[in-house]
A and B are shown apart, each in its own frame.
Chain A
Amino acid sequence: DAKTTQPPSMDCAEGRAANLPCNHSTISGNEYVYWYRQIHSQGPQYIIHGLKNNETNEMASLIITEDRKSSTLILPHATLRDTAVYYCIVSYNTNAGKSTFGDGTTLTVKP
């Protein structure tokens, strides 16, 4: 599975959009991009995933570049409860559980 690179930390003002980048330059053609978040020390929570096209759900949007070497998770209106560690993972959908969770990005949403 391809590895990912994320900034260790980011800040965002409450109510503003949070844009979390992820680089995955060695991604293979059929590998998906997955995003999870972990609030405090709770179990990670699935947010969204995509293959090539941009995706949106009730939690976030995922923008994948045309060459698929990077992606951005967008939380459109960040709240204090969005403060968490966000993990970007690249994996085949059949192997997702065997993926490596890197150290992620700690997002701090400030009032």
Chain B
Amino acid sequence: DADVTQTPRNRITKTGKRIMLECSQTKGHDRMYWYRQDPGLGLRLIYYSFDVKDINKGEISDGYSVSRQAQAKFSLSLESAIPNQTALYFCATSDPVTNTGELFFGEGSRLTVL
């Protein structure tokens, strides 16, 4: 089983709908991140969390919110989805104890907003 699991892997929704993407990890890492990737481009940071209930905005947080109620889970919400939020979303973790800076990514959640 994957150490960083994202659900759903694929989702098609309509404009205006609320969507939640879930990320859970079994690595025991305190730090978790949400990224967005548009076709042919690199990853951009949406939000990150260094501990339970710690929330920090990334480069492109507008239109998104997150929740970190437990160490193992970090959820990303789109309160009212719009078509330009169609993208591939990745969750990642890192370990501040070893502090190597290595990121561990999930397999991604592909979101299509019609």
A→B interface (CB under 8 Å)? 32, 34, 36, 41-46, 49, 87, 91-104
Contacts and interface: CB of A to CB of B under 8 A. Distances in A.
B94 A96 contact: yes
Contacts, number: 69
A43 B3 CA distance: 12
5 contacts: A32-B101, A41-B37, A41-B88, A49-B102, A97-B31
A97 B42 contact: no
Given A41-B88, A43-B90, A44-B90, A97 B105 contact: no
Interface in B27-62: 31, 33, 35, 37, 40-45, 48, 58-59
Contacts of A43: 4, 90, 92, 105-108
B103 interface: yes
B103 A102 contact: no
Contacts of B90: 43-44
Contacts of A44: 43, 90, 103, 105
Contact of B100 (A36, A49, A95, A100): A49
Contacts of A100: 42, 44-45, 59
B94 A45 contact: no
Contact of B99 (A87, A94, A103): A94
Interface in B66-82: none
Interface in B82-114: 88, 90, 92, 94, 96, 99-108, 110
